[in-house]
Copies of this chain bind each other. A is one copy, B any other.
């Protein structure tokens, strides 16, 4: 597996997550009580035996660096290979939907040039999953493919909105890529690209050379231009891939963790999702604690009621609280008798005694970092 390196695009800043992605790139958005979104993309690569990973980071890179360090927690602090932080270009448009900008790779072309490996696995990081690329790489090698695009199949139009649809012929050959628009109804299952692909390293270098003069072009556009001359294949994944494209998605993907089969696939499989390890004591449940159907990180002190909620490390829930359907990030303090429902609290939020905060399931209430209410 050492003939493969990884490349993760973590640099898009995004307005889709309201305040959650304001001071941090999407890669660094906290998820599931103790992870950040990046952990899923990075762990999947590491667990597939990839030992050299480049991470394209944005200008707001401190949260990412703080989380990764030298990659020690991901076994990526290595003399040969390891984790490379690749600063992306500064982009003007926050709302830009492009994911794999050639300009960003171009700035860091040495990372690709210095290596000896055959293939590059490229992934974006707004999705939650725990997959192993070994089989897909084997497929890629057997087909002697130039590019292998990873796809899933579904007939759920929600899953497909904004996705790229693949038209796949016999032998898994991809002959057309097409954007899926939201108002484009479908009645049958269609294969859609899940923002992960395998590409020959030298081909990627050629594409960058050829397209580097064009402002802001996406790798996928370059690929579409050359679809007839390249050997492009599709590989079908059946794994859970939870995409986060809106605050509603963010809330729902967190709530997905209460489904046993999804929790099992993400957290209890043979391959573990790595994350930064921070030393915290165990979580303390007081005599008035009443917790059900919830995920809690360590270091919390729980004295109230918690239901269908996700608590990050160091959260304090005082007696008399009622927390329901909420996501509470690290070190929030919820005062006595406070009531929270359908709420997302970013780090270090304090809710004073007796206050009531309620959002709706379709529109959860979001409180920004360090808010005191």
Q: A69-B70, A70-B69, A70-B72 are in contact. Are A62 and B85 (CB under 8 A)?
A: yes
Indicate if the CB atoms of B72 and A84 lie closer than 8 Å: no
Q: A70-B77, A279-B79 are in contact. Are A59 and B84 (CB under 8 A)?
A: no
Total identical chains:
2
Q: Mark A55-66, 1 if CB is under 8 A from B, else 0.
A: 000011110011
Judged by a CB distance under 8 angstroms, whether A364 is at the interface is no
Indicate if the CB atoms of A108 and B59 lie closer than 8 Å: no
Judged by a CB distance under 8 angstroms, whether A86 is at the interface is yes
Report which of B60, B86, B278 forms a contact with A62, defined as CB distance below 8 A.
B86
Q: A70-B69, A70-B72, A72-B70 are in contact. Are A61 and B87 (CB under 8 A)?
A: yes
Q: Which of A70, A90, A278 has the most CB of B within 10 A?
A: A70
Q: Which of A65, A77, A79 has the most CB of B within 10 A?
A: A65
Q: A69-B70, A70-B69, A70-B70 are in contact. Are A59 and B77 (CB under 8 A)?
A: no
Indicate if the CB atoms of B84 and A66 lie closer than 8 Å: yes
List which A55-105 residues lie within 8 A (CB) of chain B. 59-62, 65-66, 69-72, 77, 79, 84-87, 90
**Chain B residues near A60 (CB-CB < 8 A):** 87
Q: A59-B59, A70-B70 are in contact. Are A65 and B77 (CB under 8 A)?
A: no
Nearest chain B residue, comparing its CB with the CB of A277: B79
Indicate if the CB atoms of A85 and B65 lie closer than 8 Å: yes
Nearest chain B residue, comparing its CB with the CB of A82: B69
**Chain B residues near A71 (CB-CB < 8 A):** 70
Q: How far is the CA of A45 from the CA of B233 in the complex (A)?
A: 54
Q: A59-B59, A59-B87, A87-B59 are in contact. Are A72 and B65 (CB under 8 A)?
A: no
Report the minimum CB–CB distance from A69 to chain B (whole Å). 4
**Chain B residues near A70 (CB-CB < 8 A):** 69-72, 77
Q: How far is the CA of A65 from the CA of B68 in the complex (A)?
A: 12
